[in-house]
Chains A and B, each alone.
Chain A
Amino acid sequence: MSVSARPGWMEKPRPLTQAAKVLALATVVLLVCVPFLVIVSTSLASTQEVVDNGGWVLWPSEPTLDAYRDIFDGGIVTHALGVSVGVTVAGTLLSLACTVTLAYALSRPGVFGGRPVLLLVLFTFLFPPGMIPSFLLVKELGLLDSYASLVLPVLVNVFNLVVLRGFFQSIPEELYEAARLDGAGDWRVLVSVVLPLSKAALAVVGLFYAVAYWNSWFYASLYLESDHWPLQQVLRTYVVAGAGLTDATTGEATVTAPQTVQMAVLVIATVPILLVYPFLQKYFTKGVLTGAIKS
């Protein structure tokens, strides 16, 4: 516990102000945490308890993993989970590779065509192409119903590009010069000097990409047949739009209440984010700021 000392010139806060602050902050924390708690609890509750309670449970009296067992018995959700993981991993790696190389090229002074390319890229931020032309393009390229349609159209994100470029530019010029004197070419400089120094920025940008791929459902609904859907789109159909969960969804006859299965799918869709989040959280401010200051 670190209580940083109040500077000498600052007056002691009044108890009333202090209480108001605590109240406000506690409200913020509760507003975020309670919905998550309800979802996790409901997914763990027994069918009887959920029915008795009218559809949700704040704290299960006898936690059971029935809902999760149903889901992982193979069926739409199991398959969708695989799709989501695959698209997220492959997409993030591809996006990072393309963003890093482009950002590196744009961060070095005197690269041939650097300035026009930068303007070209920034212009797309101001004037995005629009939904219909993008859709028709994917269609004409023959990417309909392929997983590539979830990745290629959103391969490089301008904001992430600007963040990385800013970070690369903040690396001292002396390091580049030293590497050059040692006879390192562009690739060598990038791999052995720039990337190891940019771990924080890479972590943040990687997280942004991964979250975007993991959370995306709209492109899937546009471009894919329903038996290829990723998790979020399945979630949309069965939880938000309220389509009934049939036996096909979970692989075998459902014995659990529909709510618990829905909540279990929600949990599965959220957990990966909750898992990576704490590890990357400390980099946020740093990563976001380099981007904000440069743009």
Chain B
Amino acid sequence: MLPGVAYFLLFHYGALVGNVIAFKEYVPFDGLWGSPWVGFGNFRRMAEDGAFWDAVLNTLWIAVLQLVFYFPVPLGLALLLHTLTWSTVRRFVQSVAYLPHFISWVIVVALFQQVLGDTGLLNSGLSGAGLHTVDIIGDPDAFKPLVVAQVIWKDAGWGTIIFLAALAQVDEQQYEAAAIDGAGPWRRFWHVTLPAIRPVVVLLLIMRLGDILSVGFEQMLLQRDAVGPQAAEVIDTFVYHQGIVGGDYGFAAAAGLFKGLVGALLVYAANKVAHRLGEQGVYR
């Protein structure tokens, strides 16, 4: 037990305490504790920084797009897989669909470049057919749909696991009883399937909401240079570029702390709402 506890104390709580840097002006020579206090100065700077709010806006946009376009995909795929009675095919499709989850973002981004980049699969097909080529990877306007597509490709299959599990727990007899009562496939879906997976859907929605300010740090960082910060800067990459690259540690930590606090608050609020609606939520 001790090594584990020591790890959490040092690398989580130790680092958590390190957040005091958000209230300081970091001077490398003086170190974390010797640097002078500046009160809420870093936060004031943050509030007045246009680039920071651009990053917040980008973050929220991407999060909303993911919620609308990504979230239903694993659910739909799970429902589809659930209706398959041929178990060999079902297992095969599942195995293939889970796989991209285990591939690193570096490789996923490289894959997308190979397929959609200006010399990639799609464009050599287009130019071969005598059509105009499209530069999807380097186009700032295409960036947001692109990253959502990448998330779907990478994680939609993996996301089905939890829905499939919820579906598997539905008692077969309920379907049978409904069928005998004359309910067709759609009515059975509406009255048996949906109520069964509702708690899981709510749970995942809450967890997404808490995570709404963290949209794929690695994914954005890898592709930010191709389309520029205007389109691709999110809060996490903002923190990275201000702090690690720019050396403005206090300012960057303030932005990070802001994100952490808002995230924790969102989970708390979403959980409250879930309880109001009579759902279990993440915790009691």
The chain A residues found within 8 Å of chain B, CB to CB, are 1-7, 9-11, 21, 24-25, 28-29, 31-33, 35, 38-39, 42, 53-56, 97-99, 101-106, 111, 117, 120-121, 124, 126-137, 140, 152-153, 155-156, 161, 211, 214-218, 222, 232-233, 235-236, 239-241, 262-263, 266, 269-270, 273-274, 277-278, 281, 284-285, 288-289, 292, 295
Contacts and interface: CB of A to CB of B under 8 A. Distances in A.
Interface stretch (B43-51, B54-62, B80-88, B190-198): B80-88
Interface in B251-284: 252-253, 256-257, 259-260, 263-264, 267, 282
A165 to B, nearest CB: 11
Interface centre among B13, B18, B157, B217 (most CB of A within 10 A): B18
Nearest to A281: B95
B256 A38 contact: no
List of 10 A-B pairs having minimum Cβ-Cβ separation, nearest first: A102-B4, A133-B18, A215-B104, A105-B1, A129-B15, A130-B256, A132-B253, A9-B179, A54-B124, A124-B12
Contacts of B12: 124, 128-129
Contact-residue size bin, chain B (C-beta under 8 Å from the other chain) = 35 or more
B175 interface: yes
Nearest to A21: B80
Contacts of B100: 32
Interface in B45-98: 77, 80, 83-89, 92-93, 95-98
B119 to A, nearest CB: 5
Contacts of B218: 217-218
Contact of A140 (B16, B31, B111, B267): B31
A128 B16 CA distance: 8
Contacts of B77: 28
A269 B104 contact: yes
B92 to A, nearest CB: 8
A38 B93 CA distance: 20
B244 A222 contact: yes
A215 B102 CA distance: 8
A131 B18 contact: no
Nearest to B109: A240
B38 interface: no
A48 B142 CA distance: 33
A106 B14 CA distance: 22
Interface in B198-234: 210, 217-218, 221-222, 225
B104 A102 contact: no
Interface centre among A98, A131, A236 (most CB of B within 10 A): A131
A221 B251 CA distance: 21
B280 to A, nearest CB: 11
B86 A101 contact: no
B113 A240 contact: yes
